[in-house]
Structure 1
Amino acid sequence: MLLPDLERKLLRILVNYPAHRRKMPTMHLIEHMIGRTRAETIQGLQSLESKGYIFLQDENTTQSIVVMKDSQDVPQQANEQFSGLDYWMFY
């Protein structure tokens, strides 16, 4: 399932930023990174929560956001005729 642009950007930030900085970005920083208003950012976060990608423990702060699943956790449509071993033999 493909996410809309806003939600995809938000999820990428929420997954990648804490990996490098050890904390969630502030709301102001998220707004700056995605180039959207606070209202659009909050709407995107609520949409991600309703789809089960994140969990907002406290809606007043971004520090309480828990990422439940990454968009890459969703299995991709694979070509069924090739197995993992076939990759090494045919490519």
Structure 2
Amino acid sequence: MLPDSERKLLRILINYPSPIHKSRMPDFKRLEVMTGRRRPDLLSGLQYLEDNGFIVWPDKSTTEGIQIIRTEELVKSPPPRNIDYWTKY
């Protein structure tokens, strides 16, 4: 499971490219505004995502070449089974 700041960064990278943004990744200034983090923190977050296999980031000087490999799979627990309600009332 990803830490909160890296998960937020990954979600921004996944959801940002669209026809409105001309299918490109946000630049560092835009990421600073969207995440509230400074550039050194963003660089360490992006490096963390790359080290853990979530993104490929060939050119470390820009965000244009970032490719998303996988998203975080959320593991949901099954809902509690309360059969007593249906059988005893």
TM-score range, shorter chain: 0.7 to 0.9
Cα distance in 1 for residues equivalent to 2:62 and 2:49: 16
Identity of matched residues, %: 43
Which residue identity lines up with residue 48 of structure 1 in the other structure? L
Output one character per residue of 1:35-60: Cα deviation in whole Å (capped at 9) or x when no partner. Answer: 01110010000000001000101111
Q: Secondary structure at the match of 2:18?
A: helix
Q: Give the 3-state SS of the residue equivalent to 2:59 in structure 1.
A: coil
Partner of 2:25: 24
* Structure of greater Rg: 2
Q: Which amino acid aligns with 2:53?
A: G
After TM superposition, what 4+ stretches of structure 1 lie above 2 angstroms from structure 2?
none
> Normalising by structure 1, what TM-score?
0.77
- Who is 2:6 aligned against? 7
Cα displacement string for residues 11-57 of structure 1 (whole angstroms, at most 9, x for unaligned residues): 01100001352110001100111001110010000000001000101
Answer 1 or 2: which has greater helix percent. Answer: 1
Question: Secondary structure at the residue paired with 2:64?
Answer: helix
Cα 1:75/1:31, change in 2 over 3 Å:
closer
In the TM superposition, residue 75 of structure 1 has moved relative to its aligned partner by 5.5
Q: Write the mapping of 1:72-87 to structure 2, written as runs, cut at 5 A.
A: 74=73, 76-79=75-78
Alignment partners' CA distance in 2, 1:56 and 1:45: 8
Unaligned runs of 5+ in 1: 80-91
Partner Cα distance (1:8, 1:76) in 2: 14
**Structure 2: which 5+ residue stretches go unaligned?**
79-89
Separation (CA, whole Å) in 1 of partners of 2:31 and 2:16: 10
Provide the residue aligned with 2:63 in structure 1. Answer: 62
